[in-house]
Amino acid sequence: MRRLAASCHPLVRRSVARAKHLPPDVIERLARDEDRVVQLFLAESCDDAPPHMLLTVWRWWTGSLSTPDRPRGRPNFPRRGLLRYTEDPNPRMRQLALDDPESAPEVVERFSRDSGPEVRPRAATDPRLTTASAVRMLDAPREHIRHAAARHPHLPARVLIQLLRDTDTAQPAARHPTLPVAVMRQMMQCFGPSAAVTSRS
């Protein structure tokens, strides 16, 4: 693996980066690789990928269909010290402040009005967001924000029922975390096979 990781051919180094576990020196070498795809594969596949590289990849990689939770879902992805990104100009970095265990409800409320299209949906589903703000976000101009707010865990039952009865919001509301799984499945079947696939993903 050490010899392959030092190869001048990026395809060889990319193959090495796909391994689930690698020696620490190999990981560090690949984490500094000039080829972005090497870093991406390391972030997606290697459980020992270093935190600093995972953060770097997070800045520019939004996730694939096969691994939508990565790199943020990797074991070494940083969870503490993320509040320093609260004011970051990059919305992808800004939203990470919500993952910090010291993040206060005030940050969630603030992000519910953030201009970043990726930040507001994250705030919309955060259980620390007030119910009033979640209901407010149901009227957001952007559809993906409204759909995220429809899954807020503390929506009043009357509001959730209204969403389920509305053809524009029924599908995202059918994925609400308070609904029993059997009810979710039954409702998603009403929207057709494509919706059922989405609910399973």
Residue (of 106, 113, 60) closest to 83 by Cα position: 106
Asked if the structure places residue 69 within a domain, the reply is: no
Domain holding 185, by residue range, is 156-201
Which element (helix H / strand E) includes 109?
helix 105-111
Do 86 and 147 lie in a common domain? yes
Task: Write out the two tokens for 178.
Answer: 């308070």
CATH code for the domain in which residue 143 is found: 1.25.10.10
Do 164 and 133 lie in a common domain? no
**Residue-wise pLDDT tens digits, 168-196:** 888 888 888 888 888 777 776 776 555 44
Peptide bond into 89 cis (omega under 30): no
Asked if the structure places residue 71 within a domain, the reply is: no
Do 139 and 182 lie in a common domain? no
Do 27 and 42 lie in a common domain? yes
Burial class of residue 184, CB neighbours in 10 A (0-12, 13-18, 19+): middle
Do 85 and 144 lie in a common domain? yes
> What distances in angstroms separate CA 3 from CA 6, 7, 28, 40, 161, one per listed residue?
5, 7, 14, 20, 60
Do 54 and 101 lie in a common domain? no
Find the angle CA(155)-CA(161)-CA(162) to the nearest 5 degrees. Answer: 95
Asked if the structure places residue 170 within a domain, the reply is: yes
CB contact at 8 A, 21 and 46:
yes
Task: Compute and round to an integer the Cα radius of gyration of the chain.
Answer: 20
Task: Write out the two tokens for 166.
Answer: 């509305």
Do 83 and 151 lie in a common domain? yes
The pLDDT of residue 196? 45
The pLDDT of residue 120? 96
Asked if the structure places residue 17 within a domain, the reply is: yes
In this prediction, the residues of the chain whose per-residue pLDDT falls under 50 are: 195-201
Asked if the structure places residue 113 within a domain, the reply is: yes
Asked if the structure places residue 28 within a domain, the reply is: yes
Do 181 and 131 lie in a common domain? no
Number of domains in the chain: 3
The pLDDT of residue 65? 77
> What distances in angstroms separate CA 94 from CA 7, 40, 102, one per listed residue?
36, 21, 15
The pLDDT of residue 198? 46
The pLDDT of residue 66? 77
Do 138 and 174 lie in a common domain? no
**Residue-wise pLDDT tens digits, 95-115:** 999 999 999 999 999 999 999
The pLDDT of residue 41? 96
DSSP state letter for 96: G
Do 151 and 186 lie in a common domain? no
Find the angle CA(156)-CA(120)-CA(141) to the nearest 5 degrees. Answer: 80
Do 21 and 9 lie in a common domain? yes
Residues 99 and 186: their CA atoms lie apart, in Å, by 32
Tokens 């799984």 belong to: 181
